[in-house]
Structures are given as C-alpha cells and as structure tokens.
C-alpha cells in the first residue's frame, strides 16, 4: 500500500514537473520546436565556446526523428531518460552522442572530439587528478584498448555498453550522465560573469 501511494506521488510530481517544463519550453520556443541555436541559448552555451560541439551532439541525440529540431515530446523523453533511465538506456543514449555521423559505430575521431569537449567543459576542480594526468589521446587509446573487443578500430554499441559495465573508470568516461538543469545554471552563471 505504501508503495502504491509513493508511485502515485511520483506520478503527480512528474505531471507538475512536465507542466513546468512545458511552460518554460513554450516561453523559450513559441514555435513549439527547438532549433540548434535555441537549444544552445536554452542551456546558455556560447555558439563558439568550448561546450558548443558537445551541445550539438546532445541536440542530435535528443532529435529522435532527425528533422533538426526538438519538439516538446523529444525534449521530455530525453530529459526523462537522462534523469530516470537505467544504466543501459543511459549508455545507449550516450553512444548516440558519441556517434556523431549516426552510422552505428564510434571511431577514434568521434571519440576524440567528445572526450576533448568533455575535457574542456569539466576542466577545473571537478576533474580527478588521475584524469588530469592523461591527455585526450591517451584517454581515447585507453578506451579503445579496453572496449574495442574485435580490434576493428571502431566501437559498436554493444562493445560500448559491455566495456562501460565492466570497468568503473570506463563507465565514468563514457556515460554522459549530465544533469541539464545544473549544467544550464552553471553555463548561465559563467555567461553572467563576462
């Protein structure tokens, strides 16, 4: 009985949260569609700044139907996955962010681009000392050595998920477990200081 009541409260909270998100979405995007430049503005990302490429990859992962816009349902589905999805779903979504050309594999250049973007975004006190000692290229090579099980020079979604599940360091590097609201607040705070 307590569990049923808890589920009802969570569902009610979700409805309130979705309504608040919809109000914000409609205020930011009266057309009902979020374009890439609006997405970057929504999250406070400088179009030419260090987080720009990362934001573009996130945008394309959110854009389920590939029409270069994000409608409200795509937006809510993506945020729900980021906030509530299980590990495998989060890893599958992360893989889509890494797979920039959407060909079902991640090559060294795609991996290097995302790792480089993440490095730029996270540099500062949040980075652990062991990660600071590794260059982007060293991280890419370490990931490929651990994850590319068939040695073909690319990472499939299955290799990506299995590798991340087997090694905590890899999981930390590969899972893009961002909290969009926290990231948005941090980005807006940074832009307010300039």
Mind listing the domains of the chain with CATH numbers? 31-192 (1.10.238.10)
pTM of the predicted protein model: 0.67
pLDDT higher than threshold 60 for residue 194 = no
Which pLDDT does position 124 carry in this prediction? 42
Percent share of the chain, pLDDT over 70: 74
Write 156-164 long-range contacts (CB < 8 A, 24+).
Answer: 156/104, 156/105, 157/92, 157/95, 157/104, 160/91, 160/94, 160/95, 160/98, 160/106, 161/88, 161/91, 161/92, 161/95, 164/91
Confidence of residue 175 (pLDDT cuts 50, 70, 90): confident
pLDDT of residue 152: 95
Give mean pLDDT, residues 135-156: 93
Query: What are the tens digits of pLDDT across the range 67-109?
Result: 999 998 888 777 777 667 788 888 888 888 889 888 999 999 9
HSE-CB for 173 with a 13 A CA cutoff? 27
3-state secondary structure 58-124: HHHHHCCCCCCCEEHHHHHHHHHHHHHCCHHHHHHHHHHHHCCCCCCEECHHHHHHHHHHHHHHHCC
pLDDT at 54 over 70: yes
**H or E element that contains 33:** strand 33-34
**Residue 83 pLDDT:** 66
pLDDT band for 12, please (50, 70, 90 cuts).
very low
Residue 139 reports pLDDT greater than 50: yes
Calculate mean pLDDT across residues 4-21. 55
């Amino acid at each position: 009985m307590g569990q049923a009541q808890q589920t009802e409260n969570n569902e009610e909270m979700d409805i309130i949260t979705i309504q608040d998100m919809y109000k914000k979405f409609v205020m930011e995007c009266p057309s009902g569609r979020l374009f890439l430049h609006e997405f970057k503005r929504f999250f406070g990302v400088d179009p030419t700044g260090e987080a720009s490429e990362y934001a573009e990859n996130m945008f394309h992962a959110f854009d389920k139907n590939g029409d270069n816009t994000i409608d409200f349902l795509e937006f809510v589905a993506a945020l729900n996955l980021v906030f509530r999805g299980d590990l495998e779903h989060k890893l599958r979504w992360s893989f889509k962010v890494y797979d920039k050309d959407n060909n079902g594999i991640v090559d060294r250049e795609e991996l290097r681009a995302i790792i480089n973007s993440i490095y730029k975004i996270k540099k500062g006190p949040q980075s652990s000392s062991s990660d600071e000692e590794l260059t982007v290229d060293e991280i890419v090579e370490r990931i490929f050595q651990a994850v590319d099980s068939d040695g073909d020079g690319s990472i499939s979604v299955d290799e990506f998920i299995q590798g991340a599940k087997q090694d905590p360091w890899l999981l930390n590097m590969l899972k893009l477990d961002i909290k969009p609201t926290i990231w948005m607040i941090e980005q807006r705070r940074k832009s307010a200081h300039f």
